[in-house]
Chain A
Amino acid sequence: MKYLCLVYMEADKLRAVPDGECAACGDGFRKSGLLIAAEALQPVETATTVRVRNGNVSITDGPFAETKEQLVGFYLIEARDLNDAIRVAAKIPPAREGSVEVRPVRELQP
């Protein structure tokens, strides 16, 4: 089963987790066959929100919701069950500074 691990952190804590450590973590997951995709994200100030209402595209600056912690990256993983996914999520380096939201992936209905 697929789980999306959404990594949240406060902006001023970003430097506490070196990129090299995150890259090594991703490589480790890939070698174990756990990883489907993982990316780090540019800061939230670079975000643009797109909506389509009555056929019109509206574009606004910034994320949908303002929170103290921001989305800084994600790991899409393959895990046997939630306990397995929690074990993987606990190894994601920013988990010790911010938080990781583990969400099961939903199969689209035909």
Chain B
Amino acid sequence: MPTTDRVHEAVAAVYRSESRRVLATLIRLLGDFDLAEDALHEAFRAALEQWPRDGVPANPRAWLVSAGRFKAIDNLRRLARFDALDETGARAEVAVDGRAAWADEEGIEDDRFRLIFTCCHPALSADAQVALTLREVCGLITEEIARAFLTPAPTLAQRIVRAKAKIRQARIPYEVPAREELPARLDAVLRVVCLVFNEGYAASSGPAVTRHDLSAEAIRLGRLLVELLPEPEAIGLLALMLLHDSRRAARASASGDLVLLEDQDRALWDREQIAEGVGLVERALSSHPVGPYAIQVAIAAVHAKASSSAATDWAEIVGLYDVLLQTVPSPVIELNRAVAVAMRDGPATGLALVEAILDRGELKDYRLAHAARADFCRRLGRTADARASYERALALTEQEPERRFLERRLAELRT
């Protein structure tokens, strides 16, 4: 029946746009992640049954929260009859008492913050914080998170189960931290938001170069964080995400192929987003010492201001990478710096730097390190070396457009 199909589509659309908000509120009302997840699924099952008959409600989010809550209370009461300790009965009462403003818009945005800060609680391991945030706040499935972190899916699933058990057993509260605790707690949240954005901006696998839903989610989280706590590093991360995301339309061709920064049609860059990002740079750079996100956004701003790759101030970019490396030593940042040095001084200098990094072994399985080496060798006319590195990068990539790009380069080297 076409009407039923339309309603099913509407339910699917509401699931995409509202399920995480509904979950965040259900966790507060029910006081437990697993109960809330079950309630969320029951609420959507009820929607699939009732909406085709009764029509899509005016406020689907409120309907789903209400349905989920009642389903959970029913289940808890049924369990309580068999439960000698009556602990679940007490939980059901808590859930019934949680009437307070569950449909109120502001309260629901607060719930998303409670969820973020709980998932990024420092009592959880760093790995668990990231996994839990991507699972619960962003709704990624375990396999997607596992690929993003090059971790087997069962390991990742176990990590999430353990984190939820710790939240329950150690009673990590579902709250936004007190003002005086916020700055320290914010760092963990920013790191997680940054990782979510990266997964959306350069999807580790799958058919597309970018996964705009994830980038948009990260930017949305970034905006909310800046609103809550306008700290320079939160502003820096938001500006950084805006500037990177502004190039989205130019990063893939009409056929979905990867377009490198130097070949991008800069007319496709989102000028509005660039203006917003560049407008935030000064505020981001206002702290002492300047934080890593602020330095990265300064680099992104240099790119955003240049009319072409050739017109880019590469010396400025190399200088900023030097500052960044002093703040956060990392082989990936060294690799980025090597690429900037190559743009300033030529591919031979870049190649020497990249080979030194590869020799140290930390990036031996990092596809972009091999792709950079391949590109420098290609420019230097060292065809056999270029081919070997493109093949190595190709073996390591799980993203379709990246695979096609590398295959194209390899084909060009054969002719």
Contacts and interface: CB of A to CB of B under 8 A. Distances in A.
A82 B172 contact: yes
Contact of A82 (B84, B85, B170, B181): B170
A110 interface: yes
Interface in A3-42: none
Contacts of A83: 172-173, 175, 177, 181
Contacts of A50: none
Interface in A90-110: 102, 104, 106, 110
Interface string A74-95: 0000001111101000000000
Given A82-B123, A83-B177, A110 B85 contact: yes
Main secondary structure of the interface of B (DSSP, over half): loop
Interface in B140-185: 169-173, 175, 177, 181
Contacts of B171: 1, 81-82, 104
Contact of A80 (B84, B121, B123, B173): B173
A92 to B, nearest CB: 17
Contacts, number: 25
A24 to B, nearest CB: 23
A82 B123 CA distance: 9
A81 B85 contact: no
A81 B169 contact: no
> Which of B121, B171, B172, B181 has most chain A Cβ within 10 Å?
B171
A102 B172 CA distance: 12
Nearest to B173: A81
A102 B171 CA distance: 12
Contacts of A104: 169-171
A81 B84 contact: no
B117 to A, nearest CB: 10
A30 B173 CA distance: 24
Contacts of A81: 171-173
Contacts of B121: 82
A86 B178 CA distance: 13
B24 to A, nearest CB: 18
Nearest to B185: A83
Nearest to B168: A104
A86 B164 CA distance: 19
Interface in A49-85: 80-84
Contacts of A80: 173
Interface in B98-127: 121, 123
A95 to B, nearest CB: 15
Nearest to A104: B170
B84 A110 contact: yes
Contacts of A82: 121, 123, 170-173
A40 B70 CA distance: 49
> Which of B84, B170, B177, B181 has most chain A Cβ within 10 Å?
B170
A102 B122 CA distance: 13
A105 to B, nearest CB: 10
A65 B177 CA distance: 36
Q: Which 3 interchain pairs have the tightest Cβ spacing?
A: A81-B173, A81-B171, A104-B170
8 contacts: A82-B170, A82-B172, A83-B172, A83-B175, A83-B177, A86-B123, A104-B169, A110-B84
Given A82-B173, A106-B169, 13 more contacts: A80-B173, A81-B171, A81-B172, A81-B173, A82-B121, A82-B123, A82-B172, A83-B172, A83-B175, A83-B177, A86-B123, A104-B171, A110-B84
